[in-house]
Amino acid sequence: MDKDTIKKVADVARLNLTDEEISDFSRDFDGILEQFSELHKEKLEEFEEEEKSAVLRKDESVLDFTVSEKILDNAPDKENKLYKVPKGSK
């Protein structure tokens, strides 16, 4: 994976990487994806819908949340009962 692709992916993932990290990851990713491309050599069958794993969900309901103040206690910056964040990009 070339350095420009890494930079593009890092931007999507909201990670600021150093030049050293970019070169290290570029080298690693080639090795990892080469190893993982074994998967493309395999014959993978399609399964009938009922055989697929499914996460069963019961009806969901809304519950009272009682610890919102404690949650705000973990905020790096807050004002009144709101998170305080830096300004958006122009």
What does the binding site for another protein look like in residue numbers (CB under 8 A)?
A: 1, 5-6, 9-10, 12-17, 21, 25, 28-29, 31-32, 35-40, 42, 44-47, 51-53, 55-58, 60-61, 63, 67, 70-71, 73-77, 83, 85-90
Contact 1, 30 (CB under 8 A): yes
Q: Which residues of 35-50 are buried (b: 16+ CB within 10 A; e: fewer)?
A: eeeeeeeeeeeeeeee
Minimum Å gap between C-beta 82 and another protein is: 11
Instruction: With CA atoms as reference, report the closest residue to 71 among 79, 81, 62, 84.
Output: 81
Minimum Å gap between C-beta 72 and another protein is: 9
Of 23 and 32, which CB lies nearer to another protein in the complex structure?
A: 32
* Amino acid at site 76: P
Minimum Å gap between C-beta 79 and another protein is: 13
